[in-house]
Structure 1
């Protein structure tokens, strides 16, 4: 049977639940069955975790810094408290059940928060070294910059390369990595691009958008989603 994978959604100002079709297409292509998860399901998280084989934490707006114990920075973007609430609950439930999680962009940052780590509310204002362009001006399926992959990590085993190229659409980034997470890849400016848990079968967060690179047949993005869906079958 194909694994059933929950896909988190964003919420606009009118209360509409939104998710990019690329996430759905990527899971389908890798052999999974995607189920869209709305907000407002806080009381049903346990039941959903029992039903689902894996969780995809999608990209989107900023995480409310209240979850960091911080006040909002002037450069903080739009936050969606109801989305934060359900995604934090889902992530914790799936971690407790040792079920696979793939976090993308915001999803990676949220994972780090769940593990007790922190994030830069705005890299340009808070990161103390020169930065690459992390909000690319080219099409979303073009690669923008390199990331260096750490050997002897799950992510390196998946992509099989020391350096890959990725796209980039973020003004926030992880810092103060939570344990038992480790850094699996960084950009040339030192920004963390991949984290993974050493205490779970498959918990990986990536800062870019592999679901968009899959639109043009990116081999490493395909390998990542294939590995995620394969882990959900176990």
Structure 2
């Protein structure tokens, strides 16, 4: 089997259907046409444009930035890798960031892991050999063109990580694993959200993941591997070096399937919320009546307060108006039209400027709400949206009824 087909073979073999995003001009502006995206697998390719992670500024010591002469030497030694493909960079970084924003399962292999790190604010070594200077006994050959597929070097697999679980029965001395290597670049500064899973003897990070976004059974999987487990095969055979080699793909697909299931369940829930009348339980009905009375009192106070000769409404306490104000304050940021309508209803009866300021959600509260919702599951967000939609419908119906002028009475 051609090495480029290993990825697809493993994805299909574990139950997912791959859709290839072509590297063509303009496709980065058409990513919505690939929705819904249930997972993204990014693999090998050319070097990432160093301006995207500001390699020169990221130097951690004098002389760390490569000189023009060093860069030219790198291009001569790695001509196929050192040619930057800006279109590919644009497409893959957009895909990675879309996954990160939506918690879509993501597996990055080799360059894909570097894209993931850069997308989260990390940086890379432009050339490991030129920039990473380990002790002589820790030096590692990360690229061997003479023994391309057969070359291996050791990594230390960190305990408590998915990688350790997958290869537990194959580790030498409890933490050593021999992996392949096809790269001259690598992670320099690991983005803050990630933790390492494997380290080469020279200190280079060979695998990392986001522990807060790793639970395949719940559709969570964000991971990068510098080596190629799908190509770790015994010479002249398709048999893997170790049983754990296929686990990254197996668990990735498991997360993809779970994520797809969550989206499907959320869609069903939303359709049900739209088509099924909402029946309020006793507590919600009680709360609805309190809110309706509160807004109604505000309206009546405003109306009768501006018509001194009219019959005044029944006495009420100031606290009776709080329920309506708090409900509106906690559930919506008002448009100009909505504010105008509320003024007409009498919602500003007590203190116009103070009352309206309470109706607007502050930036701090909105930011806190967004941060909280970002951690919620899709189904939870759907339920929350359905609840507020139901309450909004109830309030709108009651308010419309109260604002509707009475029909004229006809006399013979």
Q: Normalized against structure 2, the TM-score is what?
A: 0.49
Confirm or deny that 1:149 pairs with 2:157.
yes
The runs of at least 4 consecutive aligned structure 1 residues that moved more than 6 Å come to none
Distance 1:231 1:156 in 2: 18
| TM-score (norm. length: structure 1) | 0.84
1:33 matched to 2:35: no
Match of 1:66 in 2: 51
Q: 1:73-99: per-residue Cα shift (whole Å, max 9, x none)?
A: 412511100000000000000111111
Gaps of 5+ in 2: 57-64, 76-81, 214-219, 259-412
Judging changes above 3 Å, is the alpha-carbon distance between structure 1 residues 43 and 64 closer, same or farther for their aligned structure 2 residues?
same
Provide Cα deviations, 1:27-71, integer angstroms capped at 9, x if missing partner. 1233322211113321222442x3222111111110000101246
1:209 aligns with 2:209: no
Could you tell me how far apart the structure 1 residues matched to 2:155 and 2:13 are? 25
Task: Report what 1:171 is aligned to.
Answer: 184
Higher strand share: 1
Counting helix residues as a fraction of each chain, which structure ranks higher? 2
How far the C-alpha of 1:197 sits from its partner, in A, is 1.2
Distance 1:143 1:227, change over 3 A: farther
CA contact (8 A) 1:135 1:168 kept: yes
Q: Which has the higher contact order (CA 8 A, sep 6+)?
A: 1
CA distance in 2, matches of 1:101, 1:159: 20
1:23 aligns with 2:18: no
Measure how far apart 1:179 and its partner are: 1.4
Structure 1: runs of 5+ lacking an equivalent: 1-18
Q: How many residues align?
A: 214
* Alignment partner, residue 5 of structure 1: none
Choose which of 200, 203, 212 in structure 2 pairs with 1:190. Answer: 203
Alignment of 1:20-169 (within 5 A): 20-39=4-23, 40-48=26-34, 50-70=35-55, 73=66, 74=71, 75=74, 77-129=82-134, 130=136, 131-136=139-144, 137-140=146-149, 142=150, 144-160=152-168, 161=171, 162-169=175-182
The structure with the larger Rg is 2
